Each structure stands twice: as C-alpha cells, then as structure tokens.
Amino acid sequence: MKAPITITLGKRFAFLAALCVFVCFGSGCGKSNGLNSQGQMSAATVIGQLQSAFKSADPLIRNDADAAVKAIQRADYPSALNALEKMRSEPHLTFEQDEIVKKATAFLRTIPADPKP
C-alpha cells in the first residue's frame, strides 16, 4: 500500500502566494489603457482611440468622430466636446465606441479652457 502524499500547510501557502503574485502582476502586463507614465491620458491616445473605434462606423457618426479628431489636433477643445456630445446622443454606438467617447470627453474636460503654449 502506497503512503499518501502529504503537502504541508506551509508549502500550500507558499504555492498559493506565488500563484497570486503571478496572476496579479501577469494580468497587468502590456495593458497601458492609453495612460502616460503619470497616469494621465494624452491627446494622441484619444485621437488614436477615436480613429480606431470609428473607422468602420456609419458615415454620419464617423464624420462626427473625424470632426472631434480634427478639433483635438487644432487644440479646439470646445468644438471637440461639442462633436463628442453629439456622438453620445447617437443611439447606434457600440459599447466600445460609447466608452471611448466617454473617456475622450472626460479627458477634454480636464484640459484648461485657455491652454498656455
């Protein structure tokens, strides 16, 4: 008759701790969520996300996204916010598109009204 394999409580704890560390650190690798090193979103990230999310959208919605992108590129943030607000009222946005519009709107609202060069 074979002797049962016994694992001490310490070994189980060490294994679970190592597994937790691996999962916690491994799950965040490669995910920047568009944030810079200071934890802030950048205009370039917002532009890229808008262009990517709306490249195959309905032409009317894509036109609004393009208008928002061009306004951000010119630093005309009030016009960009107007375009994004118009997009938010569109009932046919996908979940991803709606989330990107929300993030872009939140980002633009953090920019001072009169940015200094």
Rg (CA), the chain: 23
Q: What does the block give as tokens for 72?
A: 């951000």
Structure tokens at 89: 């009222």
Overall pTM surpassing 0.85 (yes/no)? no
Average pLDDT of adjacent 10-residue blocks, the chain of 117 residues: 63 57 48 47 91 91 94 94 93 92 94 63
CA dihedral 100, 102, 107, 113 (to 10 degrees): 130
